[in-house]
Structure 1
Amino acid sequence: MRVGLIVNPVAGLGGAAGLKGSDGPAIQREALARGARARAGERAAEAVRALLAARPDATVVTVPGAMGELSARAGGGVPELVSATAGDPSSAGDTRAAVRALAAVDLLLFAGGDGTARDVLDAQPGCPVLGIPAGVKVYSGCFAVGPAAAGLAAAEFAGTTTEAEVVDLDEDAYRAGRVSPRLYGTLTVPAARVRLSGRKTGSSTADPESVEAIAREVVSRMRPGVRYILGPGATTLAVELALGVTGTLLGVDVVADGAPIGLDVSERALLALVEGHDADAVVSVIGGQGFVLGRGNQQISPRVLARVRGLTVLATRTKLAALNGRPLLADTGDPDVDARLSGYVPVVTGHRESVPYRIVPASEECSG
């Protein structure tokens, strides 16, 4: 079995920096200036490690350098290299060229986010593909739920395929608080036993009264002197509105004693705000996918989570019901932190109303 590998080395760079994306050299420079660290290569290596553990005879075929070779070797592989050139940093054109260079593989793994999925789609791959989630948003349905799941799906691939959607946002509009996902097409992916992430579903059908009731319940639980980290989303924004705070829809905000002390903060700023203080994190569930950490809220990193006392999860009953019993997912990038977060948690679904629901590490969602 020949498995291709492409890595977008800068994918996800803007997440922890609070930049809501990583497209373009200017954003990438700003992310680095804010202390961000690229982790797409590490996540690709995790996928290769899982692939080779389950299928030692697999050959990883990739391109030289940071766009594949380094991750393949870090994951324990001895890759077969094909000729391709790439800039530093690499570009969308480099990704498309790498896809074409790897046309003869049985399955192509690519590490990145929705923008990378678009580049793969544009190159018209001649084989099935599967995304290793490494971007900021990852709204498309062509990704596995985590790197290990991607590797296992590749190992088990026996030729049966299905179609998955490629969705992306205008990042400039997204940074301005406008969420307008666009469907660009479909990619052929493995009909895998392991879970694919599925396309994110929006919150436009959410019952405003349910969201308002959740917000009132969260506010009633807030304690004096505690700093509350509020993740992105309409439900957490409703909490701020209930406090009389003008918050950000897609950023991570911090409030204390009913007042904002940090809006749309980066991981670095968030660490400074919670260090030495009692702090709790409040996050909402991504519709259709079930992620609570690791998608769009990378500012709430393992380092931040180590400094908070509690995690409050918010979701309407409709959003939970749409998961059809599938667990909530944590994908912080640190397996120990994901394991510590796992188990049943009370999910706030209304005023004086919560239901127990299970969180599992995305790395464990390899059994379908």
Structure 2
Amino acid sequence: MGGPAGLRGSDDPKGRALAQAEGYALTAAARVSSALKPMLASSDSWQWLACAGDMGADLLFELGFQRIRTVYTPSEPSAAEDTKMAALALQKEGVDVLLFAGGDGTARDLLDVIDKRQVALGIPCGVKMHSGVFARHPLAVQEILQKIQAKTLVTALSAEVRDIDEAAFQRDQVVTRYYGDMLVPDDLRYLQSTKVGGVESEALAHQEIAADVIEQMQDDVIYFMGGGRTVAAVMATLGLPNSLLGVDVIQAGVLLAANCSERALLSWAQRGSCRIVVSIIGGQGHVFGRGNQQFSPTVIRAVGIDNIISISTKTKLQSLSHGIIVDTGDAELDQALVGLRSVCTGYEDAVLIQWVTT
């Protein structure tokens, strides 16, 4: 209602009450409805985790969705703090995509609390929408979500969250201020960044993946480098020898140990912060459990599932008829690893794909 009422948003309870008193209605519900209605045809494929009442659940039931579970009950009337608490509750449940309706103010609230690895997508409903985290149109939302559900490769973007600089606005200047980045899905045309004659060049893709991984490396972190040609390209770019079918340990551009056993990796894991760099096995599509058993459940837990860097060419991912398969031999760990995850596919380029057990 903020836009029709001439407000810069609807977060302020006083402004919202005034707009309601003057007869302005909430418009977000209508825009969310238009975004989600096309998904009713495949409603059995979706499990919705939502906030109670008018923060989500009521509208989902009204639209006709059945698989709905509420995970947070907001205050009445709801406020920005409810947005933050709801986001934390949804993230704790491990949602694949945190779908929200609003504008820049809502995006900032989410940015304050969600993990940088949490995928989010905004349905454009606000007054101020300078951020890059919103779908181009409500109808584009279902297109993106349907692609994720169908296990089609979807590009993962680090999009800016921006909002009006209030100090500049008081001087009659419309200037946006950068607040941070949020991971969002997008329906870009894939293979765009590493095309040669319309087909992805594996050599060029490997170069770009290596450049991205190396740029993100930190000197105080130990890296367990898995097997395969994609990881080998990272090692070659660093000028280091590589155990093509083994696991090497590096730090600050120096090879610390080669072809390590599970026991050796556990020893290194006890010395400081570690990360696993692992490639996807082409054709089979496994990330753990095939050819890299050195990454045992004990090693993976010691490193931490949030410290896994998965890399692959897009051509390899597109050849999979399913998601990326996790088979660590530990059912509990497998379940902790499944879900929508980001895979590095080039320089500042990644796609979202499901990790599955079957």
TM range (shorter): 0.3 to 0.5
Name whichever structure is richer in helix by fraction: 2
**Which structure: larger Rg?**
2
Higher relative contact order (CA 8 A, sep 6+): 1
